[in-house]
């Protein structure tokens, strides 16, 4: 990563012995700080660290991997490695390539802490090891809690540990046998693991086979259960965990004449599937089938539609309802007007979509034929429309029954390839409506593919209007300037998705110009509405698919993207929203500097000072002590539970100060208190628990004075951390 060639570089880097630079980031007992490799005397000669006499070896004689070839200016030192900070060390007339591990972090804990190798770039860390050596436990790293999770051995995943390891499962290879199951009569199996087979009080499963079906004599909603049931019948749409499958049977009565039969199965906890057959038991012909899908409101849903079913006399058709654990199930039976399977499954058979005329896209049973950047779990139906002149286009999609979230894909005349997609849109998480807007769509033939997150009927409407002018922040060309440290309101209602850096497919966007006069560190912060999915991105000026510099997508505001060591020049800051809802955008900028390694700073006496301009700091609390409480820690935690480290911040004037801990390797807590006494008094809204992957974040306006910044752990956790501090002028 090259630095600004016009700026002489004399950085001071805090470094420690090799043990601190190990993969764990821990400091061995007795190590001391080494001289800074960037420290120089007043005339450019080396200071106490050896200055110009230092060669390509460190102070202990070992090879110095950060030292490169000869140079006179920074521009000669670009090593092509994205995670290094490159500069010409004037005292040595040699290039220095300092690794910045924070660039490499992927916000995941279980795969270890990523490191920056000065030769190879970002390299994976050692995966977190959780094995405790006990054969009766299954030990895993849990990303959600950022910690090791130890569970009793349960080989068949039925929720009951093996009896040999203290559980109650007497046959840990059969999911339908455990102490959590009910005893099933007349099957010669000790289902409940009490040592007695088919004892008094045993029960028979309800509707377990074709000889005892649930009678769905008329459309309506029926309660079923797979408790004590076993797997009797196969279908073309099995549940996810097939070894644990069990099924029950419903007898669906279809009156005389032709009808569409629609069956919807819902569960709260387990996967589910449903199949409708012409007769019960093999080899009955399968009329329709549906696997399970995530329901927008939680749980799972399976939905089938058998079209134009019926005869001159009443039919009774068997429906096989499956789950992969013993759970209550809701079966909804609907009798609809007879239809034929939609013919518009492909681009070549696309149906006409008239302006202002709603069309119903019936997705149950459709196949996946097209690729879209916005996803969509069901197959799709395709529509076409033609414009004789440029028009603004709005496409609306709404799930009729709320069982799936719609996805829209606007495509060109060719339609069939992934590159033929102009843009796409999907409903925000849990929503039943999607909206796609395109300004001044050119004259010609266009296609719309409609899919969803689960089988549902989607009402699709096309609305065209006279072309409008784009707002100033619509594209990267001529984008308005974003002043560093200033927050701007970004109304996105009349925006479209026309900047493709791969950050948030389907999100409408706005672009702003960020001008860097020198090599800089940049943090972009986006705030957005509850229920929206949004993103912020930093990109090169051209804003093409290969021009992305940093990107962050979030579902909990604010979302942050950062980049260190950006060369001076013109960049673009992007705000993107899936729901076309308003956002706020801020870019914080400071002159680039290498990360400061913090080996101690464990209490008030040795609190490390943060410069008024901020900086990037890294360390680990593994060797620290728990000195101070944190008000936003997990409830019912004893005070001073987690190890912590302390910083001191002196402000000579009021400042807006941002503290960002993304990249840290554990669930963090960050606290800012007001001095002058240490550790200071608590401030309103100045404690942040970072149990989400993007870790703790604080955006504070602070008066002139002394402050103490506490890096802590949530629920007793500790580990390697990063703290990025930016300052700006206060907002009005």
- Express each pLDDT in 604-620 by its tens digit: 999 999 999 999 999 99
CA–CA separation, 551 and 505 (whole Å): 12
CATH (one of 1.10.10.10, 3.40.50.1110, 2.170.190.11, 2.60.120.380) for 214-336: 2.60.120.380
**Is pLDDT above 70 for 8?**
no
CA–CA separation, 127 and 110 (whole Å): 6
Q: What is the pLDDT of residue 146?
A: 67
Q: Which residue has the higher pLDDT, 632 or 134?
A: 632
Q: What is the pLDDT of residue 20?
A: 32
Q: Which residue has the higher pLDDT, 13 or 293?
A: 293
Residues 6+ apart with CB under 8 A from 112: 23, 124, 125, 126, 127, 128
CB 706 within 8 A of CB 650: yes
How distant is the alpha carbon of residue 337 from its chain centre?
41
Lowest-pLDDT choice from 90-99, 394-403, 430-439? 90-99
**Is pLDDT above 50 for 505?**
yes
Q: Which residue has the higher pLDDT, 162 or 450?
A: 450
> Where are the domains positioned within the chain?
214-336, 347-465, 488-591, 596-728
Inter-CA distances, 473 with 311, 332, 360, 503, 512, Å: 61, 48, 35, 18, 6
Q: What is the pLDDT of residue 685?
A: 94
Phi, psi values for residue 420, rounded to 5°: -85, -5
Q: Which residue has the higher pLDDT, 482 or 531?
A: 482
How distant is the alpha carbon of residue 478 from its chain centre?
31
Q: Strand, helix or coil at 146?
A: coil
Confidence at 61, pLDDT banded by 50, 70, 90 = low
How confident is the model over 47-67, as a mean pLDDT? 52
Token pair of 451 as six digits: 């899919």
Span 198-207, pLDDT tens digits: 888 777 788 9
State the DSSP H helix or E strand holding residue 395, giving kind and residue range, or none if neither.
strand 391-399
Q: What is the pLDDT of residue 40?
A: 32
How confident is the model over 561-578, as a mean pLDDT? 94
Q: Is domain 488-591 classified as CATH 3.90.1570.10?
A: no
pTM of the model: 0.77
**Is pLDDT above 50 for 345?**
yes
CA–CA separation, 217 and 314 (whole Å): 11
Lowest-pLDDT choice from 23-32, 245-254, 320-329, 461-470? 23-32
CA–CA separation, 116 and 317 (whole Å): 63
Span 645-693, pLDDT tens digits: 999 999 999 999 999 999 898 999 999 999 999 999 999 999 999 988 8
Residues 6+ apart with CB under 8 A from 18: none
- DSSP string for 262-285: EEEEEESSS-EEEEEESSSSTTPP
CATH of domain 347-465: 2.60.120.380
Q: Strands, E, within 517-644: which ranges?
A: 520-528, 534-540, 548-554, 559-566, 569-577, 583-591, 596-598, 608-610, 614-620
Q: Which residue has the higher pLDDT, 282 or 341?
A: 341
Q: What is the pLDDT of residue 188?
A: 84
Which residue in 625, 649, 647, 648 sits closest to 713, CA to CA?
Answer: 625
Residue 136's region, left for phi above 0, alpha for psi from -120 to 50, else beta, is alpha
DSSP conformation class of 557: S
Lowest-pLDDT choice from 123-127, 354-358, 372-376, 713-717? 123-127
Lowest-pLDDT choice from 55-69, 346-360, 685-699? 55-69
CA–CA separation, 339 and 202 (whole Å): 46
Span 365-396, pLDDT tens digits: 999 999 999 988 999 999 999 999 999 999 99
How confident is the model over 317-330, as a mean pLDDT? 93
Q: What is the pLDDT of residue 28?
A: 37
Q: Which residue has the higher pLDDT, 181 or 295?
A: 295
Q: Name the average pLDDT for the chain.
A: 87
CB 708 within 8 A of CB 628: no
Span 21-50, pLDDT tens digits: 333 333 333 333 333 333 333 333 333 333
CA–CA separation, 350 and 425 (whole Å): 19
What class is the 596-728 domain?
mainly beta
Residue 614's region, left for phi above 0, alpha for psi from -120 to 50, else beta, is left
Q: Do domains 214-336 and 596-728 have the same CATH topology?
A: yes
CA–CA separation, 556 and 528 (whole Å): 8
How confident is the model over 701-712, as a mean pLDDT? 96
Q: Strands, E, within 189-337: which ranges?
A: 214-216, 220-225, 246-254, 257-267, 272-277, 286-290, 293-294, 300-311, 315-323, 328-336
Token pair of 709 as six digits: 């910044």
Q: Which residue has the higher pLDDT, 706 or 637?
A: 706
């Amino acid at each position: 990563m090259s630095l600004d060639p016009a700026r002489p570089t004399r950085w001071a880097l805090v470094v420690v012995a090799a043990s601190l630079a190990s993969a764990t980031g821990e400091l061995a007992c007795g190590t001391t700080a080494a001289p800074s490799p960037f420290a120089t005397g007043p005339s450019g000669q080396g200071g106490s660290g050896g200055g110009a006499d230092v060669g390509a070896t460190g102070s202990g004689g070992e090879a110095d991997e950060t030292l490169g070839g000869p140079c006179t200016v920074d521009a000669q030192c670009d090593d092509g490695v994205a995670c290094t900070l490159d500069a010409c060390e004037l005292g040595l007339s040699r290039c220095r390539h300092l690794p910045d591990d924070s660039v490499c972090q992927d916000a995941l804990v279980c795969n270890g802490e990523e490191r920056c190798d000065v030769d190879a770039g970002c390299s994976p860390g050692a995966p977190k090891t959780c094995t405790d050596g006990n054969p009766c436990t299954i030990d895993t790293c849990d990303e959600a809690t950022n910690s090791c999770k130890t569970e009793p051995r349960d080989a068949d995943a039925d929720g009951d540990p093996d009896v040999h390891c203290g559980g109650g499962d007497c046959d840990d290879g059969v999911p339908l046998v455990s102490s959590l199951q009910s005893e099933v009569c007349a099957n010669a199996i000790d289902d409940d693991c009490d040592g007695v087979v088919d004892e008094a009080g045993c029960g028979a499963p309800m509707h377990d086979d074709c000889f005892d079906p649930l009678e769905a004599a008329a459309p309506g909603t029926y309660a079923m259960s797979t408790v004590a049931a076993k797997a009797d019948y196969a279908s073309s749409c099995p549940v996810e965990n097939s070894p644990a499958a069990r099924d029950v049977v419903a007898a669906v009565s279809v009156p005389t004449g032709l009808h569409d039969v629609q069956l919807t199965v819902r569960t709260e906890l387990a996967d589910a599937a449903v199949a409708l057959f012409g007769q019960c038991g093999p080899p009955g012909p399968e009329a329709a089938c549906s696997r399970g899908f995530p329901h927008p409101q939680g749980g799972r849903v399976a939905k089938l539609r058998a079209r134009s079913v019926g005869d001159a006399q009443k039919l009774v058709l068997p429906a096989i309802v499956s789950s992969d654990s013993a759970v209550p199930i809701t079966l909804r039976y609907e009798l609809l007007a007879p239809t034929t399977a939609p013919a518009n499954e492909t681009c070549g058979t696309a149906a006409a979509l008239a302006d202002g005329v709603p069309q119903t896209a019936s997705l149950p049973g459709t196949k996946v034929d097209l690729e879209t950047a916005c996803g969509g779990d069901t197959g799709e139906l395709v529509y076409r429309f033609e414009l004789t002149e440029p028009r603004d286009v709005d496409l609306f999609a709404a799930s009729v029954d709320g069982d799936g979230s719609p996805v829209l894909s606007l495509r060109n005349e060719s339609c069939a390839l992934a590159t033929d997609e102009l843009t796409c849109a999907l409903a925000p998480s849990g929503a039943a409506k999607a909206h796609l807007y395109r300004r001044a769509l050119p004259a010609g033939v266009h296609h719309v593919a409609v899919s969803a997150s689960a089988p549902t009927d989607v009402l699709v409407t096309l609305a065209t209007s006279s072309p409008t002018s784009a707002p100033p922040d619509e594209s990267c060309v001529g984008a308005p300037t974003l002043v560093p440290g200033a927050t701007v309101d970004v109304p996105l209602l009349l925006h479209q998705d026309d900047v493709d850096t791969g950050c948030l497919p389907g999100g409408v966007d706005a672009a702003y110009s960020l001008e860097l006069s020198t090599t800089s560190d940049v943090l972009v912060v986006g705030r957005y509405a509850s229920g929206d999915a949004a993103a912020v991105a930093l990109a090169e000026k051209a804003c093409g698919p290969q021009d992305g510099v940093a990107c962050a997508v979030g579902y909990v505001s604010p979302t942050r993207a950062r980049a260190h060591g950006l060369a001076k020049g013109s960049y673009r800051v992007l705000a993107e929203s899936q729901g076309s809802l308003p956002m706020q955008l801020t870019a914080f900028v400071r002159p680039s500097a290498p990360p400061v390694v913090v080996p101690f700073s464990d209490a008030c006496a040795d609190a490390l000072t943060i410069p008024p301009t901020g900086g990037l700091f890294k360390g680990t609390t593994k060797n620290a002590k728990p000195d101070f409480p944190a008000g936003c820690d997990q409830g019912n935690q004893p005070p001073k539970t987690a190890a912590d480290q302390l910083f001191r911040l002196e402000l000579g004037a009021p400042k807006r100060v941002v503290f960002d801990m993304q990249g840290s390797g554990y669930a963090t807590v960050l606290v800012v208190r007001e001095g002058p006494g240490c550790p200071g008094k608590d401030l309103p809204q100045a404690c942040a628990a970072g149990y989400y992957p993007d870790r703790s974040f604080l955006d504070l306006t602070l008066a002139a004075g002394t402050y103490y910044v506490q890096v802590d752990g949530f629920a007793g956790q500790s580990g390697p951390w990063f703290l990025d501090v930016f300052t700006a002028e206060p907002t009005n």
